[in-house]
């Protein structure tokens, strides 16, 4: 007899007709044993055993002058060759640093790149000796690391959605509010309207201009492309350079030459190994594209005619600007233009120059003739700014409230009145000596800060 209430027998599964179930079982088994994931984009294997991830090996960039472009990388990157460019890359990783510059490597450029740290103990870029242009870093312990020996240049970059201190993100062309707590701002707003004196105490021709800077009249120039100068004592003279220059050697000289460079970074760039670079009787046209005309340390600019730049020369350790004509800043979207800028370093001199932030054609004062801070180095020390003519800027001289500095001297400078708010912000910050009797108006000779 058959029991009609009995459950039907359970037949063994026909595995051949159940491929979906087999796949699901295989995935479950793999999750608890050995999983092999192949990242086709990078060719890297990630192994996990019993559910515990093994730290991803880095992507090592070991091709000199190589370019990593337009990729998404889910592991650390290590730069192991000189003059590597990382452009339009998305990096998402943990570990010690998302991008690590190996010891002894020079010339790394990181631009238009996004870094997402997956661990709170991960740094963005480390340890120094690189340039970062328009790099956005999120969730990292420290976005951009550097040391006294291995400095970095950070331009137009962000950390966790905010402009990175010392970078160049920011100000619109239109007015922005004056800092409310700056005594200099109140003082400058109370100044009487501009009424030029009949004869300025010092003629404007005392300072450098188009006729006594740049390539001397009569110099015959030979055409050249971009240059990489890596021989100690090398002398370059009499060239019409359509391109840019990198220097990585001691006692190099660039003389009597014209440079027309449309790089988004620098017309002249000093790399590790550079000391005592001399740039003399040179004209630099930055083509409204250079983030800075010269960067960043161990050079002297003498009798330079530098123009058409977003920022002029950057001032890091062992830099000197003498007898030069720096003018005609270029406004681009988001720019925050300074004729000269230092975000840290030691042993800097700016002497007897014409520093024109104001554009008389567009009536744009731009940001400053000189801006200083210590955002990308521990301190700014032993800096002298003297015997210059400066006109323009939101403030002609901008001194960061975050400055950590000592022995920073401003003396014997003369100022025009084409600023937006005033001559100086933060003149009384610790470490700054503002010599009131000798920092005077160009037109009257009276102190700008009584």
DSSP for 358-393, written as a single string? -BTTTTB--SEEEEE--SSSS-EEEEEEES-EEE-S
121-157 tens-digit pLDDT: 999 999 888 888 789 999 999 999 987 667 777 777 8
Q: What is the pLDDT of residue 48?
A: 37
Nearest 10 degrees: Cα torsion 301, 304, 307, 309? -10
- C-alpha closest to that of 136 among 114, 120, 119: 114
Q: What is the pLDDT of residues 3-15, one digit of tens each?
A: 333 333 333 334 3
What is the enclosing helix (H) or strand (E) of 25? helix 19-32
Query: Which of 105-114, 241-250, 372-381 holds the top average pLDDT?
Result: 241-250
Nearest to 404 by CA among 374, 384, 427: 374
- Evaluate if residue 306 carries a pLDDT over 90: yes
The answer to whether the Cα torsion of 37, 42, 44, 50 is positive or negative is negative
CA distance linking residue 94 with residue 296, whole number of Å: 30
Instruction: Tell which residue, 445, 383, 369, has the closest CA to residue 414.
Output: 445
Model confidence at 445: pLDDT above 70: yes
CB 107 within 8 A of CB 88: no
| For the chain, domain boundaries | 58-163, 183-189+196-441
Q: pLDDT at position 261, please?
A: 96
**Strand 380-386, strand 345-351: pairing:** parallel
Confirm if 85 and 68 have CB atoms less than 8 A apart.
Answer: yes
Q: What is the DSSP letter of 179?
A: P
**Residue pLDDT, tens place only, 35-69:** 333 333 333 333 333 444 456 799 999 988 777 88
> Average pLDDT in the 208-233 region?
96
Rounded mean pLDDT, 232-251? 97
| End-to-end CA, the chain | 118
Mean pLDDT of the chain: 82
């Amino acid at each position: 007899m058959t029991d009609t209430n009995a459950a039907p027998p359970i037949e063994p599964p026909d595995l051949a007709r159940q491929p979906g179930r087999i796949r699901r079982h295989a995935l479950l088994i793999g999750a608890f044993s050995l999983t092999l994931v192949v990242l086709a984009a990078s060719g890297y294997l990630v192994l996990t055993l019993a559910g515990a991830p093994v730290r991803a090996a880095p992507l090592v960039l070991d091709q000199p002058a190589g370019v990593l472009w337009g990729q998404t990388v889910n592991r650390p990157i290590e730069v192991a060759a000189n003059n590597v460019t990382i452009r339009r890359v998305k990096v998402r990783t943990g570990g010690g640093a998302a991008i690590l510059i190996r010891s002894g490597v020079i010339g790394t450029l990181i631009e238009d790149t996004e870094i997402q740290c997956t661990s709170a103990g991960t740094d963005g870029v480390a340890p120094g000796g690189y340039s970062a242009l328009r790099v956005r870093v999120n969730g990292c312990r420290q976005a951009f690391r550097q040391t006294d020996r291995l400095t970095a240049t950070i331009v137009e970059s962000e950390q966790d959605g905010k402009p990175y201190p010392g970078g160049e993100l920011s100000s619109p062309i239109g007015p922005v509010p004056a800092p409310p707590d700056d005594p200099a701002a109140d003082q400058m707003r109370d100044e009487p309207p501009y009424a030029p004196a009949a004869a300025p105490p010092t003629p404007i021709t005392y300072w450098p201009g188009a006729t006594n800077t740049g390539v001397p009249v009569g110099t015959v120039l030979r055409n050249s492309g971009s240059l990489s100068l890596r021989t100690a004592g090398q002398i370059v003279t009499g060239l019409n350079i359509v391109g840019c220059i990198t220097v990585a050697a001691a006692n190099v000289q660039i003389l009597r030459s014209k440079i027309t460079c449309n790089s988004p970074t620098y017309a002249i760039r000093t790399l590790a190994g550079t000391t005592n670079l001399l740039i003399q009787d040179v004209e630099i046209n930055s083509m409204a594209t250079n983030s800075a005309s010269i960067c960043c340390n161990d050079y002297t600019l003498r009798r330079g005619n530098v123009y058409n730049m977003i920022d002029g020369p950057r001032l890091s350790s062992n830099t000197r600007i003498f007898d030069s004509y720096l003018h005609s800043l270029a406004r681009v979207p988001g720019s925050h233009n300074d004729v000269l800028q230092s975000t840290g370093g030691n042993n800097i001199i700016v002497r007897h120059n014409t520093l024109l932030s104001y554009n008389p054609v567009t009536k744009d004062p731009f940001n400053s003739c000189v801006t200083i801070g210590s955002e990308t180095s521990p301190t700014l020390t032993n800096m002298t700014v003297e015997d210059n003519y400066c006109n323009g800027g939101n403030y002609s001289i901008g001194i960061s409230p975050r400055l950590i500095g000592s022995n920073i001297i401003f003396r014997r400078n003369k100022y025009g009145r084409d600023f937006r708010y005033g001559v100086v912000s933060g003149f009384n910050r610790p470490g700054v000596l503002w010599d009131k009797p000798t920092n005077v108006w160009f037109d009257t000779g009276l102190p700008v800060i009584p």
